[in-house]
Structure formats: structure tokens, C-alpha cells
Amino acid sequence: MIHTKDHKTKPLFDSWEFLGPKRRTLMEQSWAGLFRKHILNELPVSKLKPFFTTGFGRPTKELYSIVGALVLQQMHDLSDEQTVSQVAFNQQWHYALDITSNSDQATYLCEKTLWNFRTIMTENNLDTEIFNQTTEKLARAFSVTTEKQRLDSVHIKSNMRHLSRIGIFARSIHRFLVNLQRQYKDCFSQVEEQTTARYLSGKAPGCFSMVKPSESATTLEQVSRDLFSLVQLFSADQQVRSMHSYKLLERVLREQCTIVDLHGEEAARVELKAPRQIGQDSLQNPSDPEAGYSAHKGKGYQVQVMEIYTEQTDPEKKAQQLNLITHVAVEPASAHDANAALPAIASTQERGLGPRQMLCDSAYGGEDTCQTAREQGVEIISPVMGTAEKTHGLVSFTFGNQGQVIRCAQGQTPLKVKKHKDRHSAVFSAEHCASCPFLSQCNVKQGKKHFYLNYDDKAQRCAQRRTHEQTDAFKDRYRWRSGVEATMSEYNRRTGVKQLRVRGLPAVRFCAVLKAVAINILRATAVTLALMKHNQPDPGPYPDQNGFMDIFKERWISFLGKAAAFLRSRPNFYFCGLKYAA
């Protein structure tokens, strides 16, 4: 049975009067007051109702409080056991979640309840729904300007062990044999005893972590042959092939090995790939098959984070402006940043939080990406990836409005220019180019009669961007990008996002997204305190301490008015067997 509470209607009597005026003020100015006022009613409780019945069964825990507790759990980086304790005894949590009763029904929940609700929310992407709704709410409440934003990524790790190549083979085989023995004992009996003894007896597969460096090559060949033989043994069995652990064996074989078919009397054999031939999206651990690998940051996942920034230099005014995180996307570490800018722009524009200009590093600012964003009304401010091929390349040429060359670095104008679709060519005099001291550093090529410069629109735009990067105007705008590094530090320092307790992309996404919600809540709390400190109007003031008495008086007067109207409409009426006259 669904159990929810109306958190919008103000109560007739103040349930928190026991705190006293000073503690009540501290409570309202903390994150708990902001959460209760802005966040609690925005939680997508309606999306949970289809998973419960309306009028049958035992009542659920109050849905707003349980979903809010999951958000607060990620905010404070707590385990399930610690979360249960906070819900049971912490008055600040009670105030934030609007828990006004001290009964076990209201303040107690078990770890399995947390697990069940978290599973439902993870499988239905409700974490993203929470982020979107709370972000839009805070943007409206604090009148946030979304014109200027910046984008960057942070590497995070799931709760998985970092395995070597031998460990990946051994752990995958061990996992498959254990599941095969549990589910299909007849098929398990077909496996050679040497193989089962090697991977199931004793401390296997932990014994493979103690391989001597001199024996690692031999051991790696052995485990690859064992994995290949298991894949071949059950390749025709549809039941075994449908097992998740068997599919992991096939994936490891495909990513780590090459099958050599001799087309003769000899059977096919397996050869190990060189490390440089293995893709970054290869399996890193059977316990977390969705994790990727980055040569720069290592194994795990990465979170794309886009936030609003301000160019305000006055510390007091800067503290009064909310730098809201507007976009969060979790992906394997093998994903490239070049593909992250356009989805971030599209996501924010759909929710009415799109930027006009976006700061990011060179990995995001490919020319094709910048051109597409420009068509959508967004200017990406980013250096060009890499360096110019030559000192006096296209950067040293002067271009016109149509992309044609006007003059070279030495001031020579071309004899003729041509354009075909997006391709351009310029013809220069052989007399001038042959005597130019920078000919060896120039992009022109010598022909039969003249020197020729060939380029396309993309190369020309990149050259103009490189030229603009050297100006003071670009440096003054781009210097604000470095502030996103402080956000990444705060993201980890306050919520512990870089080392999570969970595995798997859905669970990692759930934690990372809700931790971003937590950063927005904490930042909004700081802005609220700054506004109060400078006697500026707080967005949507909290109810004052006398507000509850005003509500009581208002409702009492309303009751008396209705009673008088009732008496006027009934000249004679009976109450408790006695007759009364108006």
C-alpha cells in the first residue's frame, strides 16, 4: 500500500517548537532547511507508485522520506548501516525529510528497504529524474543565469579489484566454472579434472596473483589455452552459451587473443595479442564488465560535469551567485571527451538550461564539434587540439570572409585563388616563393610553373582559431575554465565520488548523479547564507517562528465564521439531544 505525506500544506501546530528560536534558526539556515524547502517536494515519488499497490498490503515507508534519505546518503557518503542510524536518530535528517513523528513507523527503516528502493530507482533511471527536477527548481528559485558554462570530466573508480592480464583470465574462468557447477552439473562433469583443480581448489584463482615475473609469460599462455578450450567445449551447448559468465569468456578470448586456424590436421590454436593491440574498452574485471580503461587515468569510469560559472571578481558578489551543476553523464573510462560536448549541450537545452558559451579543454573542442555547436547557438571556447604542423603553416596566412587567401606571411598576394565545394587553392609566383627564406617552413608546394597552397574549410577555421588563441581577448575568456578543477576537487572532497562502494554502470551512475545533486544543495545553502549575511532577500523566505501561530489564528477565525453562517442558516437545531435557537 502506498504511503505518502503532504509536505506542501503547513501544519496547524509547529512540530519543531521544542528546538527553540536559536536552534531553529540554525536548522533553517543549514542544508536541512534548504532540502526541506526546495528539494523534498521535487522528488519523483509519482514514478515509484506503479511499483506498489494503492489499497492492498502493508503500507510502505513514507515515499518522500525514503527517496530523500537515499539522496542524503550520497551527500554524506554513508553506508546503508550508517544511513539507517541517521534516519533513526538524527534530528537534522528528520527536519530535512519532514519526519514529525518519533514512532518506529516514521523513523525506522531496515537496510533491505534501502536496497529495494535503490534497485527500483537505479533500474528506472530515477536518479537522472531527481537531478533534472532539482536542478530546474534551484535554477528558478535562485534566478540562475545559464549563459556561461564550463565542461570537464573526472575519473572515478568502482568497488572492483585491479587485475593483471593473468588475473582477468583466471577470474573469468573461475567465475564460469563456479556458475557451471551450480546450474549444470552434467555439463560441469565434462571439464577436465586438471582444469577444475587449477581454478577451483585451494586459494584459486588467488594463487595466480603470486606468479613470479620470470614465469608470467608461461602462465599467461597456460590460462589462455584453458579459456580457449572451455569456449570450444561448450560452443554447441545453447544452455551454457546463454550464461553471462560464458559470454564473458568469449569476450576475453575475442579481446585478448587471436585464434589461428591451421586448416589442416592440427586443431586451431590461440595466440595472445600484444598489449598495444588490446582496446581500451576491453574487459577489466569480470565483476564489473562495464568499466573501461584510460591510458591517462587508469581503470574505472569517468563523469562528465558541466556547471555554470560567473566572471565576477568581487568575493562578496561572487558568493551570492549560485554556480549550479547543470549536466552529469557517467561513462566508461575508455570513452573519449571529444564525444561529450554535444550531448551535454542537448541535455541542458532540453531542460531550458542551455549555455550560450561553453569553456572546455582542447579534447572537447574539435572543429566539427565547434561547428555543430555554433549552428545550435552555442560558442565553444577551446584551444585547438595538437600543434601546428609547421611554424609558417596556414596560421601565418591572411584569409578573407569567404575563406580565400589574401596574402602570405611575407605580404605576397596570390596570383589566383579557386574554390570547389569546401576545398580551396591559391597560386603564388614561383619567383617570390623560390627566394623566400621561410620556404622550408611553409605549406606551399612547388609545381611546374607556380607554387600552390591547397587546404579545406576545416583547416582554414582551425588556423584562424590558432591565431585567435594568441590574443589577449581569448586568454582573458579562457582563464575561467580552470575553475572547474576546483569543482572536481569539491565533488570528491565532500561526497567521496572518486572511490565508490558499488560496481556496474547503473549503480555507479546512481551514486555519481545523486552526489552531483548534493553539491548543488550544499552550494545553494552557502548562497542562501551569503544573501542573508548581506541583508538581501532570500529566494522564497522560510516561515518565521510566529508563522505557525498566524496560521492557527487564520484558521480559527475561518472556523468561527463558518460556525456563524451555520447558525444563521438553521434557526433551530439539536445538539446532544438539546434544542438550540439561533
1 and 99 within one domain: yes
Output the average pLDDT for the chain. 87
pLDDT > 60? residue 360 = yes
17 and 104 within one domain: yes
Answer with the one of 233, 248, 277 that is the final residue of a domain.
277
Q: Does residue 477 fall inside a structural domain? A: no
Q: Does residue 353 fall inside a structural domain? A: no
432 is in which domain, residue-wise? 394-466
32 contacts: CB under 8 Å, gap ≥ 6: 92, 93, 95, 96
475 vs 435: which has the higher pLDDT = 475
Which residues are bridge partners to 327 per DSSP? 306
184 and 104 within one domain: no
Distance CA 495, CA 519 (A): 8
For residue 147, give the nearest of 378, 486, 344 by alpha carbon: 378
Q: Does residue 346 fall inside a structural domain? A: no
| pLDDT tens-place string over residues 106-157 | 899 999 999 999 999 999 999 999 999 999 999 999 999 999 999 999 999 9
Position 17 scores a pLDDT of 84
140 contacts: CB under 8 Å, gap ≥ 6: none
pLDDT category at 543 given cuts 50, 70, 90 is very low
pLDDT > 80? residue 203 = no
| pLDDT tens-place string over residues 302-313 | 999 999 999 988
What SS3 state is found at 298?
Answer: strand
210 and 118 within one domain: no
Which residues are bridge partners to 151 per DSSP? 306
pLDDT category at 551 given cuts 50, 70, 90 is low
Do the beta carbons of residue 527 and residue 141 sit within 8 Å? no
Question: How far out from the chain centre does Cα 357 lie?
Answer: 21
120 and 10 within one domain: yes
The size of the chain, in residues, is 582
120 and 1 within one domain: yes
Structural domain count of the chain = 4
Q: Measure Cα distances from 185 to 178, 236, 240, 241, 247 in Å.
A: 10, 17, 11, 15, 19
Q: Does residue 374 fall inside a structural domain? A: no
pLDDT > 60? residue 81 = yes
Q: Mean pLDDT across the stretch 80-109?
A: 93
Position 517 scores a pLDDT of 97
Q: Is the dihedral of CA 388, 393, 397, 400 positive or negative?
A: negative
Give the rounded percent of residues in the chain with a pLDDT score beyond 70: 90
Q: Mean pLDDT across the stretch 261-269?
A: 68
Distance CA 81, CA 99 (A): 19
Q: Does residue 222 fall inside a structural domain? A: yes
235 and 183 within one domain: yes
Q: Mean pLDDT across the stretch 265-285?
A: 86
Position 26 scores a pLDDT of 92
Q: Does residue 284 fall inside a structural domain? A: no
Position 461 scores a pLDDT of 82
Triad 435, 436, 438: Cα angle to 5°: 145
Position 544 scores a pLDDT of 47
pLDDT > 60? residue 510 = yes
17 and 101 within one domain: yes
Do the beta carbons of residue 331 and residue 512 sit within 8 Å? no
Position 541 scores a pLDDT of 45
175 and 117 within one domain: no
Position 388 scores a pLDDT of 57
Answer with the one of 277, 295, 329 that is the final residue of a domain.
277
pLDDT > 50? residue 441 = yes
Answer with the one of 220, 244, 277 that is the final residue of a domain.
277
Q: Does residue 139 fall inside a structural domain? A: no
Do the beta carbons of residue 309 and residue 323 sit within 8 Å? yes
Residue 304, CB-side half-sphere exposure with 13 Å CA sphere: 25
51 and 116 within one domain: yes
Position 558 scores a pLDDT of 74
Q: Does residue 559 fall inside a structural domain? A: yes
